[in-house]
Chains A and B, each alone.
Chain A
């Protein structure tokens, strides 16, 4: 039976609105993550990563059960090629998380945000080098401008440079591996965290034998550490929802929400300062992004009226 066009339009508008809300929720939460981790004082970056992995396994187990993703999870585990790719991506995401937590712990939130501003441009570069995608002229200019921004950091801002670059590059390679691996976000992260869990548990056990484990010392702190699983799973589910109902262009533009929030959190909430060199670097990378976004929107076919 055909439904009236108006109902379909209303449905699609509601779907789009829910997608926008989910996208805002996902990127907003990712942007606010530094505040959450700052609320867990005295926990080292590596212990935080270990907790994030272990508690994500627990939360994602319920997500996988609720969303009936077990068949997909088992299917992935039966394919050595997919399992190999996810092992590689799990190492990349572990490196990314460790650097990011370390950046937050050592008051380098702004450097972290720069890494995620750089990420789309590294993606383009990686697509050209690895996937042999053609670089459009606008994209090439954007990458060159961003390169100049990074080069400025190389003069006297080594710490910011390595944080930003390692975050951008590890996440770009992670994205590339995941792009080439046909596995959904929730199933992929579940497998990745399951692969990493033995190492994380061994590390937490070692910390406890050294008397250095922070988990269990204070009720609220422990609850906060368990919550690292939720704050990993929730944005991911929101993102998956947004990705289903939003066009890629909208999603692509929304990805700048997270580093923008992180930038302001670092500057306004935690009093991080920017030297003139850092400002110049940010200005160049933002200019590169503006050009990149304008170029992407310009080249996009117009939606049918």
Chain B
């Protein structure tokens, strides 16, 4: 159940991360990174109770993608 929530949070974060690739929208990643990390945290909770860390990893990849974009834009652009 929690893995599904994690997957959904990750999808929302990715949905927002794609338009944030547009120049001058890089600042949006300051919100997207925590959102993706929240998804990863929820996904990590799953790992405590059951097998399967796919949703957590999915969120980590989204967070890493958003962090990379944030870094490329100097945190603003």
Contact = CB atoms under 8 A, between A and B. Distances in A.
Contacts of B18: 55, 58, 226
A237 B8 CA distance: 10
A234 B11 contact: yes
A62 B62 CA distance: 7
Interface on chain A toward B: helix, strand, loop, or mixed SS? helix
Given A22-B4, A65-B61, A66-B59, 16 more contacts: A17-B1, A18-B4, A62-B10, A62-B58, A65-B57, A66-B54, A66-B55, A66-B57, A66-B60, A68-B57, A223-B19, A227-B15, A230-B11, A230-B14, A230-B15, A238-B4
B15 A67 contact: no
B32 interface: no
Nearest to A233: B11
A223 B61 contact: no
B26 to A, nearest CB: 16
A21 B5 CA distance: 11
Contacts of B56: 66
Contacts of A55: 18
A63 B3 CA distance: 13
A226 B4 contact: no
Q: Interface size bucket, A side?
A: 20 to 34
A263 B55 CA distance: 32
B67 interface: no
A246 to B, nearest CB: 14
- Give me the 5 closest cross-chain CB pairs, A-B, nearest first: A66-B58, A67-B54, A66-B57, A230-B11, A65-B61
B58 A63 contact: yes
Contact of A222 (B8, B14, B19, B61): B19
A25 interface: yes
A18 B1 CA distance: 5
B42 interface: no
A62 B14 CA distance: 9
Contact of A234 (B1, B3, B7): B7
B6 to A, nearest CB: 10
Contacts of A25: 4
Nearest to B54: A67
A66 B65 CA distance: 12
A66 B57 CA distance: 4
Interface in B25-67: 54-62, 65
A233 B54 CA distance: 14
